[in-house]
Chains A and B, each alone.
Chain A
Amino acid sequence: NAGVTQTPKFQVLKTGQSMTLQCAQDMNHNSMYWYRQDPGMGLRLIYYSASEGTTDKGEVPNGYNVSRLNKREFSLRLESAAPSQTSVYFCASSEEVWQGRNTIYFGEGSWLTVV
C-alpha cells in the first residue's frame, strides 16, 4: 500500500544544474500536485494536474516545469537550479480536484539543496 511515492528523497545540486523529481501514485487518483515547503512559509502549490493530459500553474511556478506522464506519474523539473529553490518538495494526489470532497494525500517529500 505505497500511496504516493517520490524519488529521490535527498539531492544536492549546483547552481545552474537541472534535475527531475519523480512522483507516482497507486490510488487511481485523477489529480496530482507539487508543493514546496519552506520554514515560515507553509506549503505552497507549484503546479497541479487536474487530470491526465492537463497541467496548470499554482502559486509559485517560476523556475519549474511539470509533465503528467500518465495517470500515475507526475514529474517536476528544475531546468536551471537556483539557491532559492532549496526546499522540501511534496508530491500529492486526490481523486478529483473539481469535486467538493477533495482530500489530498501526500508523499514523504524530497529534500533539495542548491549550492
Chain B
Amino acid sequence: EDQVTQSPEALRLQEGESSSLNCSYTVSGLRGLFWYRQDPGKGPEFLFTLYSAGEEKEKERLKATLTKKESFLHITAPKPEDSATYLCAVPGGSYIPTFGRGTSLIVHP
C-alpha cells in the first residue's frame, strides 16, 4: 500500500531559525513528489514537483530536495509569513497523488 508520512506534525520556530520538514514515502515507481502550502481557510497551493533522486528546487526561503525514500523541505531564515501547513503528495499505482497529513509550521516574530 502506498504511504506518505510527514514529520514533524507541528513545528514552532523563531523568525530566522532555519529548519527542515520531512516527507517519507513508500510507493512502487516514483512518478514525482509534490509539495504544497496550505494557509488556514484556503486550498492547498502548489509549490514544487521533484521527479528524481538528487533533484532540488528553490523558491524564496524554501528549498525542496529528494532522495530515493524521502524528501526534505528546508526553510532558511523563516519569516512569520511562512507560517502555514505544508503538505507533500506522491502519486501511487493509480497515478493519483496520495497526501501526507502535513506539517503545521508556526514562525514567531
Identify the A interface with B (CB < 8 A).
4, 33, 40-45, 48, 58, 90, 92, 97-109
Contacts and interface: CB of A to CB of B under 8 A. Distances in A.
For the complex of A and B, list the 9 residue pairs with the smallest distance between their C-beta atoms, beginning with the closest.
A106-B43, A42-B101, A43-B99, A106-B44, A108-B43, A100-B31, A42-B99, A109-B43, A107-B43
B34 A109 contact: no
A103 B51 CA distance: 12
Contacts of B100: 42
Contacts of B31: 100, 102
Contacts of B101: 40-42
Nearest to B45: A106
B49 interface: yes
Interface stretch (B16-24, B61-69, B70-78, B90-98): B90-98
A104 B34 contact: yes
Residue with the greatest number of chain A CB neighbours at <10 A, chosen from B32, B95, B96, B97: B96
Contacts of B43: 4, 90, 92, 106-109
B32 A102 contact: yes
Given A90-B43, A90-B44, A48 B49 contact: no
A81 to B, nearest CB: 22
Given A100-B32, A101-B32, A102-B32, A58 B96 contact: yes
Contact of B102 (A42, A99, A106): A42
Contact of B51 (A90, A92, A101, A107): A101
A104 B97 contact: yes
A101 B34 contact: no
B96 A97 contact: yes
A48 B97 CA distance: 12
A60 to B, nearest CB: 13
B96 to A, nearest CB: 6
